[in-house]
Every structure is written in C-alpha cells, then in structure tokens.
Structure 1
Amino acid sequence: MAITNFFFLMASIYYRVFFFICLVSYLTNAQTFNVSGKVIDAETGKPLQYANIRLGDSGLGTATNPEGVFEIRLKKGNYTFICSYMGFVSDTIQINVSNNISEVLLRLSPSFVDLSEVTVIPGENPANNIIRNAIRVKNERNARLNSYSFTAYTKGIIKTNQEVTASSNTISIETGLDTAELKINGILENESIGYFKKPDNYKEWITARKQTANLPSSINILTGGRIILNFYSDDIYFFGRNIYGPLAENALSYYYFMIVDTLAIDNKPVYKLLMTPDDSLDPGFIGNIYITAETYEMVRIELNLNKAANVGGLLDTISIYQQFYAAEDGILMPVDYHLMVTAKILGLIKFSFQVNSILYNYKINHPVDDDIFNMAIITVNTDADKKDSLYWSSMQRIPETKEEMTAYEKIDSEQNVPFSIADNFSILSPRVLLSPNFSISSPLSLYHFNRVEGHSLDFSFRSFDGFEERSNSELSFSYGFNDKKFKYFFSTSFLPGNYRTYEIKASFYNHTEKLFSTSEDYSQFFSTLMCLLDKYDFNDYFYKKGFEIQLSGEVFPILKLFMGFYNRTDNTAFKNSDFSIFSKDKAFRDNPLIYETRLNYLQLGLTIDLRKYIEDGKFRRRVNTPRSLNLQLTADVLHSKNDLISSGLDFTSWNGELKGSINLFSRTTLSFLLDGLYTTGSLPYQMLFDIPGNVELIARENTLRTLGFNSALGDRKVTAFFEYNMYDELFRLSGIPFLKTLDLQTTVFVNGAYSDISYPSHKILPYRVKTYTKPLWEAGFNIGHGVFPIRFSFAWRLNHREENSFRFGLTSLIID
C-alpha cells in the first residue's frame, strides 16, 4: 500500500512538473517584446520621417512617425532590420530580441549615383522613355497579381482651431473666427486584415480600434486597405472623381514629366521625376514620382492634387506620400500611405486631416476562399472595441508623437467632465440636449403657424440611442389657439439583432396631418415663414387619430421584410385664421374637405437592396460603390377590408419603387427613381398619392419642376425621374479656359408622370382632382457653384404646354 501511494505521489509530481515546463515554454514563445528606436540622417542628425523598416523576408515591417521614431513588437529571436529611405544607403543591423529594447539608433548616410548610368535618347524628353517602360512594368505586375492579403494599421488625426463633435457617422466642427492655432482635436486608430481577389473582390476586418473619447467608435472605419489609393492603376478614384494615375496608359498624353534628379537606394540609381497635367486646368496630380533605373519600378510617390481636382476649391492642400516594397514573387506592394488634407473655409473654420497607414504581412497569390467575400466590404469584429492597453502595446503600430499623447490625455479628461447643457446649446438647433441621450424642444421649435391651427405652441421630449443605441422614443404636444384643439404624438421603437437590422415600432397619435405627406415634404420652419410673411400656406391639412404597429427586419443581407397594422380615424379640418404679418389684404384659401372615415388596414412589403455595406460594430451602413450599379427595390401592399378587419372602406393598393445610380465617366453620375401605384377599391381622398411638385420659385430633386405642389393626384400612377449629374465636366469638355475655371456644376434631368383615378375612388371624392392620363414630360437643367448651397433650375415642358411651359426655381438648405 505504501509503495502504491509512493508511485501515485511521484506520478502526481511528475505531471505537475511537466505541466509547469509546458506552460513556461508556451508563455516564453507567445510573449512579444517591444523594439523601438529612431532613424536619423547620419550627416545632419535630423530625424527621417516615414522611413521604411522591414524585417528580412518575414513580411513584417513598420514606418517611422513624423519625429523619426519607430516601434515594433516581436517574439523572441534573431532579426535582421533593414531601414531604407530615398536618397540614402539602407542600414542593416542584427538584433537578438529576448527582452524589450529601446533607443535603437539607425543612421542613414546619403547615397550617391553616377550620372553616367542615366541613358538619354536624343531628340526626345528622356522622362518619356522612363514612363513608357514604367507603364510596361506596371502592366506586367498587374497581370501577375491575382490575389493578396495583408495586415494594416491606420491612424487618423484631426487638427482644428475649434472644438470637434461627432455622431454615429458624421464629424462636426464648431465655427468661430480664425484666430486659434491648429491643435489635435481627434484621433482614430485601428488594426485590420484585408483580402483582395480578381476581378474586384475585396473584404476587410477591423480587429482592433480605439479613438479619443469625443469620437464614437462607429465612425472609426477608415481602414488602411479601404482608403489606400492604388497608384499602379490607370484611374484613381479620389474625392468622387476618376483621376488619371502617373502610370495610366495615356499618362504621356495627359501629363508632362521631367527628370529633376537622380537619387539612389543602396547606390542603385532611382529617377526622380516631376509630373504635372499638360493643361493646368485639367484635374490631376502634381509632384514627384520615383522610378528605379534598372527595373523601371515605381517605388515612391510624393503628389498633390491640383486645384482643378479640388472640389469647389474648398481645400487648401491635398498631399499624398506612399512607398512600395517588393513582397512575395518580387511584386511591389504599398507598405505605407500618408494623406494630408488642409482647409480654411470662409475665415471661420481651419482644419487639417492626416491619415497614416502601414501595411505588412503580405501574402501574394495565395489561395483565397471565395466565401470570404460577401455583401460586407468592412466588418468590425465583435471584440474590436474591447482590446485593452496590453493589446495595443503588443501590436504593430506607428508610435505616438508627444503631441498625440498630450491630445489623448487632454481630450479624454475633458470627456469625463459632467455633461453641461450650456456647452451643448445652440440657438439655431431644433433640440436642447438635457443629457447625451435626452432632449427637449428648443426655442426655435416651440411655435408654428398654419391657416387651420393658427398660432400654435409645441413641446416635445425625445429619448434616443438608449440600450446601446437600440431604443428611440418621442413624445410631442401641441395646442392650436385658433382651432382650440390639443394634439399629441407618441412613438417608440426598438432595434434587436446583432446589427440592429430589425425594428419594432409603435405610434399613438391625435394630431393634425398634412394631406399627401407621402410626397417630399417642406420643413415646418419654411412653411411657417411663408404663412407669416406672404400669407401663402401651400399645405393642406386634416385631423388624424389612431395608432400604428410596424415590424421590419433584414432576413437576408439583400432582403428586408416589413409589415404593419394601422388604425386611424380621419376628419376634415377647416380654415380658422387669416393672420399674417404682411399681405393683410390677402386671404388664405379654404382647406379642402376629406372623406371622413375610420380605417383599419394591413401593410406587407419588402426591400431588395443590392448595395454593399459596412458593418461598423453596431449598424449596417449601405454605401454606393463607385463604378457599380447601385440598386434598391421596394414593394408593398395596403389592404383594407370591412368584413375582415372592420374597416370603413375596402381597397387594396400595390406600390413599387426602383431607384439607383451609376457612375458613367469621370465622376458624372446617372441616378433614377421609378415609382408605380395601382389601386382596386375605394381609396379615400386623403390617401390619394400626389405627383411630386413644387411651390413657386422652388425646385427639388425627384419632383416635377413645372408642376405645382399637390396639384395632381391619383390612386393609379407612374412617375419617372432621371437625373444626370455632370458636376463641372461639361465646362471642362468645352476646352474653353475661362469656363473651366468657374467650377460651375451642372445637372440635366428628364421627368415624367402618369396619374388616374379609378371609378370606385372617383365616386367618393369630395370634388374633382387633376390627373394626367396622357403622361406629362419635362426636361431641363440645374446650375450652381461647387461651394454655394444654392442651385438654379430651368425646366421646360415637352407636352401639356398649355398649362406651364417653362419654370424657373431654386433650392437651398433652408427648404428642407
């Protein structure tokens, strides 16, 4: 028995020792160490920003920050550090990594080249032959590159002279006099893994992200793989425009190239070429590109976007810096990307935005599973926002500068200050924030006026982004002093699902409703001004009481289903006021009668959306993809039946909408909207569908410019809107220098509409309505400047010219 216990004891000790040795071995192998240092010019001692550092043939690498500092995390082992910089001899050192290493100093000495090695062809600009050969090498490279994967680290830095705020997908900069210096007011950082496969399959996962406390995580989706520009392409899509690249097939006929220097990397000659568009009024790049003399490979770019490519001239400078390094199979791939944008707008806002990315761990032409690619072009991993400081200190990244570290501490500490109503108040805002998730009406939203309610007081409460941005609710009250009625509206919604792609919504109301509000609406502020100043109330109204319950959800990435039940009681509203500050001799027109009834009806529908999306960690954001057809189809049916759901009328309405857009050439875009409706049974007057029109001197997209507001109705209709946004391309194509510099934006459009009333609906109309059984067609154009938010519209009818053959209008932000 004692012997048996002895053997059990020895076995227990043996296994514990064995487990301890395995654990120590695992931890030792898994542990990573930090290696940091600085790259300087050996002669001047000045730091070399964005110097490239590679680790032998491992695929690992990094770049120095603006202070010349680098940082890299490595497992235990021996590594060959190769540091290169244009115009310098690469420095190679061996480092044995077994613990953290700091203060590594890499000194790069200037590299020299024998100018006799440069071949000049008599009678021709020598730069042309270099570009011709570089284009050939580019085509060979692109033919060999079928797929790749990579890891990227990206840092975005926002510098402004005013404070920065942000919502889930927008960044706002406060306005003020341009007196302060630029300072860092926002930082975004993320790590991502990306895949590409010919012809155009792309997918990227964000594995980690963090940002300063004043920016929401959902805005941190600017990844290295997504923003990087492929300068080995013919066309480079930048700021909504296709711009010819330096190695485009027609580069020699579009750009002028000139050899300005011959530098070297490791004493191997590299041509430094200046490039600029032949015509300075054509959009393009200005700056330097670097091409090796032996292999004609482009290894570096230092470019700026010229003024002609700067949309509206809003931005002062747009600078791009990028280096390329031979990955597997000797194929050159971008290893970093640096973008700098600066702007000064109307003397109120001054800002700069920097993006710095490093790309490494390239796998070239390895098998890539097609299942990787789906509708999501970017997906944020569920634990990306949960990475702690230990993870960030162990990953590959561009080191923080002293200014960045100070900004992180300052911004994060300011966000811990208790919420202040005064700091978030704006007299022009329709809401007053009482907390980050609760608001009430602002002074601007406490009053409205129309000819039915007269002077009205309004007040509302709104709760939003509750329960991790899943819940939203609103409760509003209103009292009209002329119709002497108290109104209310309450709505609440909840968004279940991983990406909040489902919605449960309920609404209860007893309020004044605008007639035919299914069409494009004008803001209440705009309509109140028109009433008070010009005694022009273009809306019509009725009283509506009831409730609605709606359910919707994405059952597939491209398919959304929705359904709803509606209970409503509709009553006629009458004109009760003729008040106006001016135009006291005029009178408001009477408010129309409606078909008073109580309705119960069901809605079933679907949406097919073929656009790709970004999964930002909370929501799916649909995006229009350049050079692709972006389509959305929505179809639904409304069904009301007296003997089934005790409704006051029997009808069934089928509605369908198809809209989309596609880029044609450069940045010009063709967009369209097709809408159709077919009804059987008796549809009441207040539920008829109007042909979208406009009030006097106003013109909006997807409306009939020559048609009045709510002037044509129907329970059967077809509308078609085609709009070709040419931006400034029309004037650029003219070739007239003066017109090319005006930055005038043009849009041409063709619109058509058909409407009719079925006999059952016609029988219950309170009076006749206008229809277009012979379709109405119009055409015209819009013109405006790229900077100003006002567009002038000119429209002509192609038929029905007896009514309104021509109409001029404009649009502005205040209208909506």
Structure 2
Amino acid sequence: MKRHFCLLTLFLLIVNPAFSQTDIEGTVYDAQSGETLPSATVLLEGTYRGTITNTEGHFSITVDKLPATLQIRYIGYESARVEISQDTSLPIDIELNVSVTELGEIVVTEEDPGLSIMERVIARKQIWRENLDTYQAEAYTRQILSNDTSIVSITESSSIVYWDSEEGHREIQVSRRQTSNMSEDQNFAGVNYQPNFYDDNVEIAGYRIVGITHPDAPKFYYFELEEIQQMDGKPVYKIRVSPRRERQPTFIGTAWVLGRDYALLEVDLQPNDVVNFPPPVQEFNLSYQQQFSNYGGEFWLPVDMRVEGTVRVGMVGLRFPPFLFKQTSRISDYQVNVSLPDSVYQKEEVLTKADSSFVAERELEIETIPLTTEETTAYQTIDSTRTFEEAFKPEGFLARMVDEDDDTTGGDSGFLSSMTSWLPGGLGVRGRFNRMDGYHLGLKYEDDIDGVGLNFSGFGGYSFHSELWDMGVQIDQELFEVGNLNFNVNAGYEKETDSRFDSRIYSFGLNSFQTLLGTQDYFDYFRNEKMFAGITLENLFEDTDMTLSVNRELHSSFEEVSVFDYSLFGWHRLRRINPQIEDGTLHSISAELAYNRTGTDFGFAGRNQVILSAEHSSDALGSDFDFTRLGMQIDLHINTFYKRRLFANALDLSLSAGTAFGDLPHQRLGTVDVAMDRFTPFGVIKTRQSVPYAGSKYWMAYGEHNFRTIPFELLGMDYFVDKGWGIILFGGAGYAEAKDVEPFNLLLSDGIHTEIGASLNSIFGVARLDFAKRLDAPGFFIGFSVPRYF
C-alpha cells in the first residue's frame, strides 16, 4: 500500500506541477504561565479548514498557498490571528492572553439567565439547521486503548465524512495506520461513531439521550449561568448543565455559548448515572468534549470530538484490568449543501473502507493531529506480541477457567474444553442421566464437507441402566440459493430414548443435571426408532423459515426396565414410575413455519417470534395412529417506559396453544411447561412443580413487566440501583384437557391454573428470585431462574 501511495503522490506531482502545499507546525501557549494549551482550535481564515492542538499543545495544518492567516481560539482566552508568509520561521509559537471575566457574582433570580440563553441557542439552531441539508468533510481520528499501566494499541484513520439530513451519517476510511499488534481489519477509528452535540438526540452506548439543544431540552435540564467571559469582543457564557429528570438518561457538565450569535462554542459533558450496564460491568464512565465553529458562515459545525472512558469488568473470583479508551477526532474542509455520491448510501454500514479506485480519485492529504511523546514511544515499542489477552489478563481464582487463545489447539482451550481436547476434530462427548437409562455416555461427530454444502453428523452411546444403545446419522445438503432464499434437504436415521412429550423450555441436558442433584425427573420416556427426510426453505420471507418432513417412527415402551432410583448425593424422593405409551408404528407428515426463530434462553432476553406447526398421521400413510395436531407459539417483547435508556422497561408476553383431532397417542400430547423443581424460568407455570400439564388441547398465556431498577431509584435505595437489581411483576394462566385421551399420571390441569407474583431480578448479576401466588387454588411458591437482562 505504501508503494501505491508513493506512486499516486508522484503522479499528482507530475500532473499538477504548479500545485504546492505548506505544512505549518506550531505550539499554543498561555502567555502568562507559559503552559501549553491542549485542544486549542486552529482555523485557516477564509476556509472551512481547521485542526486542534494535541494534549501537549502542538498542532499541524496544511495550507495551499502563502501567505495564510491562522485564527487560534481557546475558551477563556482572547483569540489570536497569526499571518504566515514565506519568511515565517517554522515551527511557530503562539501565545494567548487570558480574557477578562465580566461577571464576578451571579445574582440568582426566579429564572436563571442560563435558561434564557440556552432557549436562544435552541431557537437559533432551529433556524440554521432548517437550511442545512448535507455536508461533506475530511476527518482524522485517533483511538487509543490502554490498561492501568500503559498504552495497549493505537489506531488512526483519515476519512471522508458525509451527512444527509434524511439519510444520516456515512464515513469512508481513506488511509489507516495502527500499532503492529493491530491489523487493518481491526482499525475502526472513525468520527461518525461519535455524537454531534448539536443534534436533538444523541446516541451514547445504546442510550438515546435528549441533547442539550433539543427543542424539549428545558424540560430535561437545568441551565445555570456560572460565568461570563469575553472573546473577540463578544461575551462567552459558561453554563452549568444538570439533569432535571434523574431517571432519564441525560448529560451533566458545562456548555460555553458565544453571545450575540447564541451558538455553542464548546461542550464538556458526560452521561448521568442512568447510563450504565448491569454486572459484570462494575464501572462505565465516559466524558465528551466537542468544539464548534461557523467558519465565518451560517452553520455551526463540529471542529473535533474528544472522548475518554473507563470500563471495569469483574465479578467474584474474576477481575480484569480496566479498559481505558481515548479518542481524538478532527473534522475539517466542510463542503455544505452539496450533492453527495449515491454510492455512499448503498450500504447500511456507517463506517467502510475505501477501495483503491476511490483513493485514486481523491486528491487528498488529510493532516493529522501530532502524536504526543507517549504515543510516539508506543508506536516504537509495541510489537505484534503485545496481545490484548496479555494486556487484559484476568486475575482471581476463576481466571484459569477463562478460555485463552492457544496456537497448539486452534484456539479451543481453557478449563472446560481441555477435558475433550484429546478427541480428533469434529468429535465430542454425548452424555445424559435419567431414571430409565441411568447414566448414558457416547460420542457425537459433525463435519462440513467444504465446497459442496454438505453437513454430516452422527452419534452413538450406551445407557448403563437400561443396557440399550443409542445411534443415529443425519445428512444436510444445501441444494441452491436464490437471493436470500436457501433450499436445503435432509435425511436421517435415529434409534434412541425419546421423551413422551416435548418441552419448549427444558433440554435433556438440564434435566440430567437437575435429576442427578436429586430433583424429580421432569420427562417420561419411550424408545423410538425413526427415519425421516425433509426440506428446509430458509428466508422464504424475511426472517421466515419453513420445514416439511415425512417421518416413519416405531414407538415402544420400556420393557422390563425398572426405574433407576438414584441421585448423586441420595437427596431425592422416590422416583415416580415411567408410564407406558401406546406402542405402534407412526407414519406422519409434519410442517413448521417460523418467523424470527430464537433459541431458548430461559428468559435471559426478550424475543419476538411466531412458530406455527402441524402434524398429520393416518391409515392412508400406513400408520397405526390417525390424528392431526396443530400448535402455535408467539413471543413478544415490547418496550414500555424509559425508552431512552439502553434497557428500557419492557413487557414480555408468551402465548402457546395447541389442539388435536382424532386418535392422538399419549406420546403426542401437547404440553404446558411448569417449574423444574425450584427452577422457574419465564414461560412456565411457577406454582406447579416437576410434572408438566399435558393434553390433546392446551394453552398457556404468560406475561411479565420488567421495571428494572426504577422502583429502587424511586425509593432512593442506591445500593440496589448500583448493583443493577430490579423488580419484575408477572402473571399467567395455563390449561390442558384430554377429553379423547384416557387421563393418567396427573397430567391434566383440572381447570384453568392461574397465578401472579413478583421477582427480585439480577441479584448480584447472576440470579433471579421468584415469589409466586396461585389464584385458583391455595399455593405459594419461591423459585429461582436466570436474570432477565434484555
């Protein structure tokens, strides 16, 4: 790339022999103390070009011709104009004099003058923003990541920035530079990821915060005049910004307003305490500084963006060094209300990398902000061995369980994966425990055959109590792809222990763990020998998949196998019997249509999905059973209150239902999930334990509202707020009947089961405690589950 850049530069010199540029370097000082002034604004008079000084007061700016005039501005100082000619000795030293403070004592009246000043800023902004349709600018960005001892990495980029009042921001990286431990693919330095504090709404870490120049800002902020200074003969108002609404994400800090123009000159703001993250994030602090200039024109545009932040992550037994983030961006050479290339908005990504043709079309040299001494040293000393894993290596007794990269194992290492690291690639361990099979142990294998879209998988294992073997094989073949639509076929054979009913929530693995610890075995079992073949249409519609399959299953009850009355520590009640099923051959056709299918996470996160299913079996298909069954599952996640927070208050709803016609065998009954002993995840009936409701017709409706930390904030209980604890209210109902099926084993609901309750959520970031009261009958239940985060 360097070679191409050199050739490009030579070409530009050849075709533009009369074109000459001059790099002007200098340092800005306080005239009285001699101290350097960081982040001073340096503008090239008569242009939309400018830069800022680094933390050591140094700057560099390129001018097309001499003489040129620089305007140097710094809040609290008189501006300076410096003319640079061919005879000027470079680098230059520029001294600024402290400005005169006009207001010695502020008299507080019923309405603070800071409010009326900001109301004028907001009114003026509405006028000139109405006339701002587009702009294009050049930007330079430097991002620095450090731990508590030293710089870990530096990434830099020069870019072209585009903004459209309707389409929003886009940015194209033209050139990149980074320390040797970073690759170009890891360079995400860009200014458009950072906010413009003149916007109505400002996005910070997923929070949508009302900006201080939003038309409704006076409803969200107190504006207090602290001081009046002078600059270039105009007053500069220093205004204190503080939240008016403590439970809404807002900013706190200082804004400087240029009098007469009533425009923001600079802001120094940080989000309030509402902008935070749940454990294991222990600390999340960000601060923002931004300057603005109208470059002598109508529009006030960002000159820079400076961000500093600290993130600390840890929990009991596991602590990471602090992640220290720093970004400095400079935006210059604005072209206002120009036509923007259509190509930049063809992609949804905000930040993209320019291809070689784009670079070749640009006669562009974007000046950087000079490196500080520390940053220069980092470039010289950081090599490719300075990895992030080394720089942010965790401490604590759980640290050894965190997976680390290891070239000898292809990155699959750590405490848990090392248990099976001796197995060849594609192989894994398969195990379970239940009251019929006892311990089951086996192997599984999966492999993708490169280039042909074929996936092969298989398994085999032995059950030590039932003395039966499980085995199976399956192939999946991708046939073709048209646009977003993928057409796949699959076929397979399985012979294994199966469950008499399906669970939307629980897996055999979770049940094995609970049963071993002494809880009641949740499932009932039978043996199933199955052959199947089907097709899958992925993205039939947007986020919608459809599957069709034909099945041949041979169902048989466990014969002469007693219940294995065992748990790991012997802390269990007598294991219940395993009911017989209706033995026979089941031939069926099944179909499923799924929109936005999401895996089960026990209520850890909200989801929006719809799943419709159907299965038909009849004599015409050669089956011993004649039935049709239909099923439905709908989940909704709806943000309700405090929507500007990253995690708004939310209502989660879950509705499942099913019905059947004909001779439905016991092993095809529909299920209403209940608590697995004391484990009560979202979407189950919490005041019934261990044995689910089942029937030929069933339904369940459940809902909960997550108030997050708001109740504790209202009560002033800061300890719980800081720890991220929250309150959830829930309620639900379930019903199952089996009019055409002989009742057995207490599976029917005997009417509509109803309950309500409350949860203490995110206890120490790892658990949720549920308190549920049954309404249709006596009963109170306390259980636990995973916390709801999202």
TM-score range, shorter chain: 0.7 to 0.9
Name the structure 1 match of 2:574: 587
Q: Is the 8 A contact 2:146 2:152 kept in 1?
A: yes
Figure out how many residues of one structure are paired with residues of the other and give that number.
731
Report the Cα distance in structure 2 between the residues aligned to 1:636 and 1:387, rounded to whole angstroms: 48
For 1:807 and 1:383, locate their aligned partners in 2 and report how far apart those are by CA, in whole Å.
60
- Amino acid of the residue matched to residue 450 of structure 1? N
* Alpha-carbon contact 1:42-1:107 (below 8 Å) kept: no
Q: Assess, with a 3 A threshold, how the Cα gap between structure 1 residues 358 and 450 changes in structure 2: closer, same or farther.
A: farther
Q: CA deviation at 1:325?
A: 3.4
- Structural mapping, 1:298-337, within 5 Å: 298-307=264-273, 309-312=275-278, 314-315=282-283, 317-326=285-294, 330-337=298-305
Contact 1:212 1:412 in 2 (8 A): no
- State the distance in 2 between where 1:570 and 1:31 align: 85
Offset at residue 724 of structure 1 (A): 2.0
2:569 partner letter: F
The AA in structure 2 aligned to 1:657 is: I
For 1:687-711, what per-residue CA distance to the aligned partner results, in whole angstroms no more than 9, with x for missing partners? 4332232222222123332343551
- Equivalent residue for 2:101? 115
Structure 2: distance between partners of 1:783 and 1:500: 43
Residue 457 (structure 1) aligns with: 441
Q: Secondary structure at the match of 1:590?
A: coil
The answer (yes or no) to whether the contact 2:586–2:617 under 8 Å persists in 1 is no
- State the distance in 1 between where 2:97 and 2:209 align: 34
- 2:195 is aligned to 228
Residue 638 in 1 paired to residue 614 in 2? yes
Partner in structure 2 of residue 697 of structure 1: 678
Superposition deviation, residue 742 in structure 1: 7.2
Q: Determine whether 1:728 maps to 2:716.
A: no
Q: 1:747, CA displacement in angstroms?
A: 1.8
CA apart distance, 1:134: 3.1
Bigger shift: residues 737-746 or 23-32:
23-32
Deviation at 1:32, TM superposition (A): 12
Q: Determine if the alignment matches structure 1 residue 603 to structure 2 residue 591.
A: yes
Structure-to-structure mapping, 1:518-667, within 5 angstroms: 518-522=503-507, 524=509, 526-534=510-518, 536-544=520-528, 545-547=530-532, 549-554=534-539, 558-571=542-555, 572-573=557-558, 577-583=564-570, 586-596=573-583, 597-605=585-593, 607=595, 632-640=608-616, 642=618, 649=625, 650-651=627-628, 653=630, 655=632, 657-666=634-643, 667=648
Matched, 1:752 2:733: yes
Contact 1:327–1:364, Cα closer than 8 Å, also in 2:
no
Is 1:808 the equivalent of 2:789?
Answer: no
Distance 1:514 1:266, change over 3 A: farther
Greater shift, 657-666 or 646-655, is seen at 646-655
How is 1:106-185 mapped onto 2 (pairs within 5 angstroms)?
107-116=93-102, 123=109, 125-140=112-127, 143-144=130-131, 157-160=144-147, 181=149, 183-184=151-152
1:632–1:783 CA distance, 2 compared to 1 (3 A)? closer
The verdict on how the C-alpha distance between 1:639 and 1:255 changes in structure 2, with shifts beyond 3 A counting, is: closer
After superposing the two structures, state which structure 1 stretch, 114-123 or 386-395, moved more: 386-395
- CA distance, structure 1, for counterparts of residue 437 and residue 611 of structure 2: 35
Residue 425 of structure 1 aligns with which residue? 413
Distance 1:246 1:448, change over 3 A: same
Go from structure 1 to structure 2 and tell me whether the alpha carbon gap of 1:579 and 1:644 turns closer, same or farther (over 3 Å shift).
same
Judging changes above 3 Å, is the alpha-carbon distance between structure 1 residues 568 and 527 closer, same or farther for their aligned structure 2 residues?
A: same
Aligned match of 1:783 = 760
Contact 1:84 1:91 in 2 (8 A): no
Q: Tell me which residue corresponds to 2:255.
A: 289
Secondary structure of the equivalent of 1:137?
helix
- Cα distance in structure 2, aligned partners of 1:407 and 1:463: 43
Letter in 1 for 2:595: T
The question of whether the paired residues in 1 share the 8 Å contact of 2:499 and 2:523 is answered with: yes
Q: Does 1:670 align with 2:651?
A: yes
Distance 1:32 1:704 in 2: 77
1:489-546: per-residue Cα shift (whole Å, max 9, x none)?
556668886998747474644444445444112572x534433332532233344433
Contact 1:192–1:224 at 8 Å: present in 2 too? no
3-state secondary structure, aligned to 1:350: coil
The answer as to whether partners of 1:29 and 1:75 remain within 8 angstroms in 2 is: no
Percent sequence identity over aligned pairs: 18
Aligned in 2, Cα 1:654/1:461: closer, same or farther, shift over 3 Å? closer
Quote the Cα distance in structure 1 between the aligned partners of 2:61 and 2:664: 70
- Tell me the equivalent position of 2:319: 348
The 2-side partners of 1:674 and 1:328 are apart by 61
The residue matched to 2:254 in structure 1 has which SS? strand
Distance 1:52 1:32 in 2: 24
- Is the CA contact 1:275–1:285 (under 8 Å) kept in the aligned structure 2? yes
For residues 409-457 of structure 1, what are the alpha-carbon distances to aligned partners after superposition, in whole Å with 9 as ceiling and x for unaligned?
4258999x9812397522245886789x95654xxx6654222222232
1:688 aligned partner: 669
The 2-side partners of 1:433 and 1:337 are apart by 48
Could you tell me how far apart the structure 1 residues matched to 2:341 and 2:666 are? 56
Q: Deviation string for 1:550-605 (max 9, x for gaps)? A: 4233355x353423325352534565522323227843222333444343424252
Distance 1:657 1:812, change over 3 A: closer
**Unaligned segments of structure 2, at least 5 residues:** 1-10, 390-404, 599-605
TM-score by length of 1: 0.71
SS in 1 for 2:408: coil
Rounded Cα–Cα distance in structure 2 between residues aligned with 1:607 and 1:326:
50
Residue 324 of structure 1 deviates from its aligned partner by 2.8
Distance (Å, rounded) in 1 between the aligned partners of 2:181 and 2:487: 28
Q: Distance in 2 between matches of 1:550 and 1:327?
A: 63
Q: Distance in 2 between matches of 1:147 and 1:63?
A: 24
SS in 1 for 2:96: coil
SS of 1:730's partner is helix
Q: Cα distance, 1:329 vs. partner?
A: 6.6
- For the residues of structure 1 that align with 2:283 and 2:508, how far apart are their CA atoms? 31
* Partner AA of 1:136 in structure 2: A
Question: Is the CA contact (8 Å cut-off) linking 1:675 and 1:718 kept in structure 2?
Answer: yes
Q: 2-side partners of 1:392 and 1:709: how far apart?
A: 72
CA distance in 2, matches of 1:30, 1:747: 72
Q: 1:271 aligns with which of 229, 233, 237?
A: 237
Question: What displacement does 1:147 show?
Answer: 6.0
Q: In structure 1, what is the Cα distance between the partners aligned to 2:699 and 2:67?
A: 72
SS in structure 2 at match of 1:748: strand
Aligned residue in 1 for 2:384: 410
SS in 1 for 2:192: helix
In 1, Cα distance between equivalents of 2:754 and 2:19: 72
> Offset of 1:636 from its aligned partner?
3.5
**Distance change (3 Å), C-alpha of 1:813 and 1:308:** closer
Task: Give how far 1:157 is off.
Answer: 4.5
Deviation at 1:289, TM superposition (A): 1.9
**Cα distance change, pair 774–446 in 1 and its aligned pair in 2 (3 A):** closer
- 5+ residue gaps, structure 1, are 1-22, 97-102, 162-180, 612-629
Distance 1:709 1:386 in 2: 65
